[in-house]
Amino acid sequence: MESAGSVGLAGSTGSAGSEGESGSSHLDAVRESFDTVAADYAELVRPMLDASAEMREQLAAFADEVRKDGLGPVADLGCGPGHVTAFLAGCGVEAFGVDLSPRMIDLAAEAHPELRFEVGSMTELDLADASLGGVLAWYSTHLMPPELVAAAFREMARTLAPGGRLLWGSYVGVDDSVRPEQAYGHPVTYELYMLAIDRLVGLIEAAGLQVRDRRLEQLPGKQRWHARVWAVKPAGAG
């Protein structure tokens, strides 16, 4: 769900390392909130890909690498309404989407009936070990507390084939969090976690992936910092 948190959200703030909701209740809050906002969210985020040449270039380069490697399909984790999954497929790579929100999956399947979309959590993927050539985690992990982010990266590493690639992008901060009261014109109950880039890179590496590049930027006129990380599963890894 690539842009949750990009709209100005009012709410309480705290530390991302503080004790909070259990993992299951947090995921329930994300699922229920995005089922509620799905239609308005999709209308807002779908044009963003067309408006960003840089984003398209990064995604196309990732898809090209995965296609040339020939190690398997790409899983777009947190695919939202499916427009990024469709862009990857248009780049010539087999791609499918997974999202926690059933309503998001309905919208994705309606918009792109030729592609595969399924409801699921990136913390517990219903995928075989080493079955993927690539994983895209695009603006979705900031919806989870650190312990769930760590679990998600472990699942990404488990399902990637040796030599498989990860492209991760999201908002980052200084290990702070915010609990918005509304988003996309609706009440919501989830929490956003802006982890520090060094902490995120550490979680990716702890999962068994090798970080090959990282990028940190603040877009003009925006308050939030954005980061991108490119990683690979080492050859010979289980």
Model pLDDT for residues 156-215, shown as the tens digit of each residue: 999 999 999 999 999 999 999 999 999 988 999 999 999 999 999 999 999 999 999 999
Q: Into how many domains does the chain fold?
A: 1
Per-residue pLDDT, 14: 47
Please state, in angstroms and rounded to a whole number, the distance separating the CA atoms of residues 172 and 212.
18
Would 3 be classed as within a structural domain? Answer: no
Would 134 be classed as within a structural domain? Answer: yes
168 C-beta neighbours (distance < 10 Å), count = 26
Greatest mean pLDDT among 51-55, 86-90, 217-221 lies in 86-90
Contacts of 163 (CB under 8 A, 6+ apart): 69, 71, 232, 233, 235
Mean pLDDT taken over the chain: 90
Would 238 be classed as within a structural domain? Answer: no
Query: Residue 54 is part of a domain; what is its CATH number?
Result: 3.40.50.150
Contacts of 127 (CB under 8 A, 6+ apart): 75, 159
Please state, in angstroms and rounded to a whole number, the distance separating the CA atoms of residues 104 and 106.
5
pLDDT(237) > 80: no
Please state, in angstroms and rounded to a whole number, the distance separating the CA atoms of residues 1 and 104.
9
Q: Residue 218's pLDDT band (boundaries 50, 70, 90)?
A: confident
Q: Name 139's bridge partners.
A: none
Would 2 be classed as within a structural domain? Answer: no
Please state, in angstroms and rounded to a whole number, the distance separating the CA atoms of residues 115 and 91.
14
Mean pLDDT of the 91-113 span: 98
Mean pLDDT of the 37-64 span: 94
Residue 74 sits in which domain range? Answer: 11-232
Would 63 be classed as within a structural domain? Answer: yes
CA atoms within 13 A on the CB side of 127: 33
Per-residue pLDDT, 236: 80
Model pLDDT for residues 5-49, shown as the tens digit of each residue: 333 343 444 445 433 446 688 899 999 999 999 999 999 999 999
